[in-house]
Amino acid sequence: MATAERDRLAHYVAAGLVERPDRWDVSFADGCVTQLRVDFALTIVIDASVEIRIESSFVLREGDRETSFVAGDWRAFGPLLALHQQDVTGIELAKDGSLSVRLRDGAQLEVPPGEQFEPFTVTLPGTPPVLIVSTPGGGLAIF
């Protein structure tokens, strides 16, 4: 393995990113949703260091209940306020460009891949920060 590739992977690992055959995982010991921001998207901040920005439609699954949301329809985001101060157990970034955020209470927020736009970005702490972008047509780009 070349030095540049080894350094890149070490940087990802330091940011908490673990590669699996079909996805990248981010695990949390005690991750907590500390901020929710709404503009033309929904931004979820975890422990003031991880930022998830969702710019497309997504689903919140809670037990047998499934609620769909459309990015930009901020009037419908009211139920999402319940995510504030929720514990996050992990983030799964599938290599097909989808996202899953798992909460300790069993709820799961899911974002499918997008065909024409970038449905989400995830920023992880680091120097420099690690930026993960779901690319149009599916897939992930990691910077």
Is the Cα torsion angle 118, 70, 77, 16 positive or negative in sign? negative
Q: What is residue 32's DSSP assignment? A: E
Task: Indicate the DSSP class of residue 129.
Answer: P
Q: What are the tens digits of pLDDT across the range 24-77?
A: 999 776 799 999 999 889 999 999 889 999 999 999 999 999 999 988 888 899
Q: Where are the domains of the chain?
A: 3-142
Q: Which residue has the higher pLDDT, 29 or 97?
A: 97
pLDDT given at position 127 = 83
With the CA atoms of 105, 51, 5 and 18 taken in that order, what torsion angle do they form, in degrees rounded to the nearest 10?
Answer: 0
Q: Tell me how far apart the alpha carbons of residues 95 and 101 are, in angstroms, rounded to a whole number.
A: 15
